[in-house]
Amino acid sequence: MKSVKIIGSSCKFTTHLMNLFDKISVSYNIFINDGDTKKVEYVILNSIDEEFKILNSEYCFVNMDLINGQKSNVDICGYIITYGLGSKNTVTISSLNYNSGFVYCLQRDIMCRGKVVEAQEIPVNIALKDIEELYASMIAITMGLMESSCNNSLFKNRILNV
């Protein structure tokens, strides 16, 4: 079971993320803004929160769309994976259509516990409800690839059907 701390996100984002984890068979234990400083496997930083100045995890997802322009500093200990709509993020998307899906783009290799998750593009068939679900999809797919969970029945012929 993976320990995941979510910082600065809405309830909708968290709900979407949990639903997507269930669909792609990622086992998780989620902590939400609990103020605990213990090390977890994954931290998801969805916005800058004054309460969290130091993040300690194996992997830290940083939403560059929602923290861009913030004046706060955060010390991050762990492997940083940026995500968002910008073209320079580690994880981004293209060909977005809220009714039919998008193309997930992992733009750089990720080292994960001695194995390499290679840069790749994956068409994703999903009717998105909102931007929060898009961000949650980016995280869930990346974690699924890192944990080798995207090899189930939803992921066939290099297309993810959610």
- Where does the pLDDT of residue 159 fall: very low under 50, low under 70, confident under 90, or very high at 90 and above? low
25/47 Cα distance (integer angstroms): 26
Residue 121 scores a pLDDT above 60: yes
* Among 18-32, 75-89, 109-123, 124-138, the least confident range: 18-32
CA distance between the termini of the chain? 22
Instruction: Give this prediction's pTM.
Output: 0.87
Class of domain 2-161: alpha beta
17/23 Cα distance (integer angstroms): 10
Roughly what angle, to the nearest 10 degrees, separates helices 11-23 and 131-146? 40
pLDDT at position 110: 94
Domain ranges of the chain: 2-161
Could you tell me which residues come within 8 angstroms of residue 35 by beta carbon, excluding any fewer than 6 positions away? 51
